[in-house]
Amino acid sequence: MLRFEVSACEPGGRARCGMLHTAHGPARTPAFMPVGTQAAVKGIQADQVRASGAEVVLANTYHLHLRPGAELIAEFGGLHRFMAWDGPILTDSGGYQVFSLAELNRVTDEGVTFRSHVDGREVRLTPASVIEIQNRLGADIIMAFDECPPGDADHARAAGAVERTLRWAEQCRRLHQRDDQALFGIVQGGTYEELRLMCAERLIELDFPGYAVGGLSVGETHAEMVRVLEAVVPALPADRPRYLMGVGTPRDILAAVRSGIDMFDCVLPTRNGRNACAFTATGTMKLRNEQFRRSEEPLEADCTCPTCLRYSRGYLRHLFIVREMLGPILLTIHNLWFFQRFMARLRDLIPTGDWATMLGEFPIAAAPDAGCDNPVSPKRTRR
């Protein structure tokens, strides 16, 4: 069963360092979890993910249910053996697809009926089936089924999603039986603080071993995200891990850590790596630009990732220009190392609360748009 320890707190603030203990080993927090939607962090091997400093990875219930199916993964001995990852794994419930695949689904109080984005066949997800699938996958942390409303949802729409999320959470809590898996509840409520607090209060009554804040990074502004977190995070139990789903940029992560969040996941390092965008401490770098054609410099002079130790900006640009698959692999590796370096420095500085040093070393954490993407696009951070 999951155990969480807080080891240090920001003086006079909410940021904290801790340790997650799972059946597949420990993980330091604040933790950034690379996204392995289809049981793979795109383009790189499990040992390369581990070498970056990552201790937890994420996979997605909806996608693995479609292909190859939870039954087959169970035949392989579970998700850890299937993807050759021996550390902790978290599986998302598929609730985000209620939002991201809205044009393909029909939502009722009983569950969600999808038209598969793969072959168009009808797929039904309910609280019971989501728990059964995740039990078969065997992840260390699993998520309750929830409804994620869009960022611009009006009060009535957000309130309806909260009530449905709470009903589904109660069913998931009752149906989940595996002691070696920790089931997290998900706080919804859009940008409405009273809905968020009500949802959190009722989830706490169900006594989940951890709590996630969902439904952010779906179109709201950075300021709205921070406002919601500052309202809801203090209401969550201090002795349980807090997970902000689908966030995000270094700026978003820093703000969320300062509000008391412990866990993050995001596709930005891998997706942007595949699209020739490198994260560095001073900002993002678009490697297709002509200015890098003759550059013999590494991406970052002080980065110790395998990419920076061996390859120049000019070479990396060449790989992308000629569409050589090595380019996305090398840039993905660098970006994963960057995010883990960023998180490690956060853990170093939380006990002192020295945010000036953090921003001095990582100016990117003050940048309004550091993702090479539209900062309000719902596709910027999730699957």
State the catalytic residues: 92, 265
- Helices 250-259, 326-349: crossing angle, 10 deg rounding: 30
Helix (H) or strand (E) segment spanning residue 287: none
Tokens of 305: 């990732």
**Cβ atoms within 10 Å, residue 16:** 21
The upper half-sphere exposure of residue 158, i.e. CA atoms within 13 Å in the direction of its Cβ, equals 23
What DSSP element (H or E) covers 115? strand 111-115
256 token code pair: 């969320």
Question: CA-based angle 190:194:199, to the nearest 5?
Answer: 70
Beta-bridge partner residues of 31:
263
Query: CA distances (Å), 151 to each of 21, 218, 371, in order?
Result: 33, 5, 19
Structure tokens at 148: 């994620």
- Following DSSP, what letter does each residue of 333-360 receive, concatenated? HHHHHHHHHHHHHHHHHTTTT-HHHHHH
Q: How far apart are CA 309 and CA 260, in angstroms?
A: 35
What are the structure tokens assigned to 347, written together? Answer: 């853990």
Q: Are 235 and 227 in contact (CB under 8 A)?
A: no
Residue 248's φ and ψ, nearest 5 degrees, are 170, -140
